[in-house]
Chains A and B, each alone.
Chain A
Amino acid sequence: MPLYAYLTLAALLFAIGFFGVVTRRNTIGILLGIELMLNAVNINLVAFARFNADIVGMVFTAFTIPITVAEVALGLAIVILMFRMRRTAIADHLDILKG
């Protein structure tokens, strides 16, 4: 399969993830959307690494995966905290910074 097949796949995945981020009400749902987007990015990176015979792309991926894991962990910790304070996990209710 040519490169652009993989890239198209990644783009599609990214769009779906974006849709999830902006439409989900539950905060955890938003985090799932973010996961999808990050996945798409990783597919991109690995595909480029393979087709350009450059290992750096895979190194990049090797870094993003753990970082993403850490980010999810922290994000969920925040969600739990918010749930404790506000008794809600709905993103729309978390608008203290409203202008």
Chain B
Amino acid sequence: MTDPAQPALLALLLPACAFLILAVVAPLRRRGRLAAGLSVLFSAGALVAAIAALRLTAGSDGFSEWLWAWIPAEAGPLASVGVLADGDSAIMLVLVALVSFLVQVYSLGYLSDESMPALGRYYAYQSLFAFSMMGLVLAPNFVQLFICWELVGLCSYLLIGYWYTRPEAARAAVKAFWITKAADVGMLVGIVLLWRHTGTFDFLELLQMADGRVIPLAGLGVITFCIYLGASGKSAQFPFHIWLPDAMEGPTPVSALIHAATMVTAGVYLLTRTVWLFRLTPDVMQIIAWNGAFTALLAAVLACVQTDIKRVLAYSTVSQLGYMMAAIGAGFASAGFLHLLTHGIFKALLFLGAGAVIHAVGTNDIFRMGGLARKMPQTAIVFLVGTMSLTGVPFFAGFFSKEEILGAVLAGGFPGPFAMLLLGAFLTAFYMFRVVFITFFGTPAATHGADAHHVHDAPPFMALPLWILALLSVGIGTLFAFWHPKEEFETLGWLTPTAIVVAFAGIALAYLVYQRRAISADALARAFAPIRAAALRRFWIDDVFSFIYRGLMLGLAKVVGWVDRYFVDGILNVLSAWTLTAGDSLRRLQSGRAQDYVYGIALGVLLLLVWVRWPR
């Protein structure tokens, strides 16, 4: 079997089967453990198939396609579904399958307190999500991409709102759905416009047209911008980033899967996949680069003031997504894609580690933790590994990819964004190590363990994925130290040392403030007081959206309601009033007097005579 499309298809269908079985066979789903086992098994199978597909595409630049004509028509099918397996999609497939599998295993431990039917529901959703995400990754055309895009959004809603009885969770789920849906409208517009522009949805055909310079350039900017809108919704670019921090209401494994490694990267993946289209519109690329850098910096600032460990990681994700987008906008999509892959690994690791901490301590607030390194050594080690990857310490996974991005942005001719990204790197190191020092080191908080959780290290189901991811982080980091994918641009010599210095500067600052207490945290806070205050209000971006929704939409609803009440109902009421008045008036014909009726008869006879004799 040399065709990578076949194992890719298998990897796609296995979670789908798991979902269908769990969805249809309710008794199986209600036996939570059994459902979980089924889902995990199929997920493992998908992982194996994905790895097989990867091996078959390794080293080749070719595409392997398998299509099924979903809407057949005379001049070729209107829409087809299937898989498109090439190097990028295969490796993304492995990432999705791997993280999905690890998260499902982890959930066995994390959600062990859930009721059985709820657990079955959770695993059904997980399988559905895996299927949707893989469908998105392997999509051969925009139609399947969009369908899976929406499915992924749906799964995100279902999983964020898993604990739907909690109002914050329900609100967060709706918020995520709303924001991404609003952005998706843009994407749909873009896709349809593209079809009008070129006549096809298919990626390969479009690629050929782009290479052959056949696509007309007029109006293409609008199209790519619209598609970028959709991508920025999913990938939490400014101003659509506001849903991601709130999405932390969902269970931590969900955050690890969806909001670190897979769904949020869908936007970046889409742009990578269609970069040949975006290259034709440099203006839009500029927007992407600047917005990406801005998002990175904004989110980094916001992360510095968070006290919820998961929120810090959420903003960190937004920031890193900004990095990826900036690289793509600069014209070097491969750098962004590489960072996507490494980020997927270590961010999932960080989230799962945070989950272990939350599971043990019973709270998300870092100021109610402290000194956990002693009580949870394994968790502390893996979390530290993840942090160092994120910060960009050499020999860890994130170092090379982050440096690639910095170099790409500079090589693409964007010094402004480069500066922003560099500052962002400093802040990233600062806030991540802030969390590490407060949570794992130092003295335990007075109220920690107040929930009478005895603080224990992660149980086996949770520990195993953690270690696998940690080892992967270190392994990839070391690998890149000695061998890395060829670069597409010239790296400047001073870049690597600068990046290292910046990262360590951030670590040092965090150490001084939070570990040594040499610099007072309060003094630091006072020094940046206005920024800090604004950051605590999330720069009022949420309020803007809230105003748009509440103010504009509800205001519009009120206006429409008024129109409905007074115009539509009013017209009907007027008509009925007229009917009543007409009836009243006509009633006077019935005077009750015989002579008046004789008048009527005479008039009738007259009219009859006239009518008969008229056509003389």
**Do chains A and B directly touch (beta carbons under 8 Å) in the complex?**
yes
- Residues on the A chain within 8 Å of B602, using CB: 18, 22
- Residues on the B chain within 8 Å of A1, using CB: none
User: Is B598 positioned at the interface, with any CB of A under 8 Å from its CB?
Assistant: yes
B122 to chain A, nearest CB (A): 73
Cβ contact within 8 Å between A98 and B595: no
Additional A-B contact list (16), CB under 8 Å, known A30-B595, A94-B593, A98-B592: A18-B598, A18-B602, A22-B598, A22-B599, A23-B595, A91-B593, A91-B594, A91-B595, A94-B592, A94-B594, A95-B592, A95-B593, A97-B590, A97-B592, A98-B590, A99-B589
Interface string of A70-97 (1 = CB under 8 A from B): 0000000000000000000001101111
Cβ contact within 8 Å between A95 and B591: yes
B458 to chain A, nearest CB (A): 90
Can you name 23 A-B residue pairings with CB atoms under 8 Å?
A: A18-B598, A18-B602, A21-B595, A21-B598, A22-B595, A22-B599, A22-B602, A23-B595, A30-B595, A91-B593, A91-B595, A94-B592, A94-B593, A94-B594, A95-B591, A95-B592, A96-B592, A98-B590, A98-B591, A99-B589, A99-B590, A99-B591, A99-B592
A65 to chain B, nearest CB (A): 22
**Residues of chain A whose beta carbon lies under 8 Å from any beta carbon of chain B:** 18, 21-23, 30, 91-92, 94-99
Closest partner residue, chain B, to A92 (CB atom): B593
User: Is B486 positioned at the interface, with any CB of A under 8 Å from its CB?
Assistant: no
Task: Give CA–CA (A91, B589) in the complex, Å.
Answer: 17
Please report the number of residue pairs spanning A and B whose Cβ atoms sit closer than 8 angstroms.
Answer: 34
User: Is B196 positioned at the interface, with any CB of A under 8 Å from its CB?
Assistant: no
A7 to chain B, nearest CB (A): 15
A48 to chain B, nearest CB (A): 18
Interface string of B578-597 (1 = CB under 8 A from A): 00000000011111111100
- Residues on the B chain within 8 Å of A95, using CB: 591-593
A71 to chain B, nearest CB (A): 14
* B295-310 interface (Cβ within 8 A of A): none
- Residues on the B chain within 8 Å of A92, using CB: 593
Task: Give CA–CA (A83, B602) in the complex, Å.
Answer: 28
Task: Give CA–CA (A99, B600) in the complex, Å.
Answer: 16
- Residues on the B chain within 8 Å of A21, using CB: 595, 598
- Residues on the B chain within 8 Å of A99, using CB: 587-592
- Residues on the B chain within 8 Å of A23, using CB: 595
Task: Give CA–CA (A96, B590) in the complex, Å.
Answer: 11
B368 to chain A, nearest CB (A): 85
- Residues on the B chain within 8 Å of A18, using CB: 598, 602
Task: Give CA–CA (A92, B588) in the complex, Å.
Answer: 15
Task: Give CA–CA (A95, B589) in the complex, Å.
Answer: 12
Task: Give CA–CA (A99, B588) in the complex, Å.
Answer: 7
Task: Give CA–CA (A91, B596) in the complex, Å.
Answer: 11
Interface string of B464-482 (1 = CB under 8 A from A): 0000000000000000000
* B357-391 interface (Cβ within 8 A of A): none
Q: Pick the most buried of B589, B592, B595: most chain A CB atoms within 10 A of its CB.
A: B595
* B561-616 interface (Cβ within 8 A of A): 587-595, 598-599, 602
Closest partner residue, chain A, to B595 (CB atom): A22
- Residues on the A chain within 8 Å of B590, using CB: 97-99
10 closest A-B pairs (Cβ-Cβ)? A99-B590, A98-B592, A95-B592, A97-B592, A99-B587, A22-B595, A95-B593, A22-B598, A21-B598, A22-B599
A79 to chain B, nearest CB (A): 12
- Residues on the B chain within 8 Å of A91, using CB: 593-595
Task: Give CA–CA (A95, B594) in the complex, Å.
Answer: 8
A30 to chain B, nearest CB (A): 7
Task: Give CA–CA (A96, B602) in the complex, Å.
Answer: 23
Q: Pick the most buried of B588, B589, B594, B598: most chain A CB atoms within 10 A of its CB.
A: B594
B587 to chain A, nearest CB (A): 5
Task: Give CA–CA (A83, B477) in the complex, Å.
Answer: 121
